[in-house]
Amino acid sequence: MSTTNYYSSASSSAICFSPHGVPSKCWCGENITTFTSKTKENPYRRFYRCVIAMKRENEDHLFKWVDEALLQEIRMVEEKCKLVAQDVNALRMEVMGTMKLHNINFKKMEDAMSKKIMKTVGVASVILCSIVWLWGRV
Ligand SMILES: [Zn+2]
């Protein structure tokens, strides 16, 4: 980190072309460094800028206040959290729907098994009674 007294405020063109959130590179390809403003308007306010921009003041390079970039970053994370929460909710609804369908199918299978068992027990009872009755006659 170094200090400078060049920048009193962000130029409007720099704001228009600034990437959202914390920048990692300037559009000239140079890495971004954090500098500290020493102006009356923004004393000790930190900003992002590439080293080339600090040497060549007349060129148009990325400029962004650190506090504004961090605020944008937090809002981006909040938006991502909302999307993740929506995805989780949609997934939960899908799983609950699938579980409900499985429960219905399981209940149908249980009923069908129950009917088959009752039918088998009924037939077996008739056969057993017939055998006992026939045995008794012999
Ligand atoms: Zn640059």
Dist CA 125 CA 119 (whole Å): 10
Q: State in Å: Cα 11 to ligand 1 middle.
A: 14
pLDDT at 80: 96
Which structure tokens are listed for 79? 């938006």
Q: State in Å: Cα 76 to ligand 1 middle.
A: 24
Q: For the chain, how many residues are written? A: 138
**Nearest CA among 14, 97, 98 for reference residue 53:** 14
Residue with tokens 């504004």: 68
Is residue 23 within 8 Å of 32, Cβ to Cβ? yes
Instruction: Please report whether residue 53 resides in a domain.
Output: yes
Q: State in Å: Cα 80 to ligand 1 middle.
A: 29
Q: Is 126 exposed, middle or buried (0-12, 13-18, 19+ CB in 10 A)?
A: exposed
Instruction: Please report whether residue 64 resides in a domain.
Output: yes
Tens-binned pLDDT, residue by residue, of the chain (138 aa): 444 444 444 444 444 456 789 999 999 999 999 999 999 999 999 999 999 999 998 999 999 999 999 999 999 999 999 999 999 999 999 999 999 999 999 999 999 999 999 999 999 999 999 999 998 887
Q: State in Å: Cα 25 to ligand 1 middle.
A: 8
Instruction: Please report whether residue 88 resides in a domain.
Output: no
**Nearest CA among 64, 67, 63 for reference residue 75:** 67
Q: State in Å: Cα 94 to ligand 1 middle.
A: 48
Q: State in Å: Cα 72 to ligand 1 middle.
A: 21
Is residue 42 within 8 Å of 7, Cβ to Cβ? yes
Instruction: Please report whether residue 78 resides in a domain.
Output: no
Instruction: Please report whether residue 127 resides in a domain.
Output: no
**Nearest CA among 49, 73, 75 for reference residue 62:** 49
Instruction: Please report whether residue 92 resides in a domain.
Output: no
Instruction: Please report whether residue 8 resides in a domain.
Output: yes
Residue with tokens 């800028």: 49
49: containing domain: 2-69
Give the number of domains in the chain.
Answer: 1
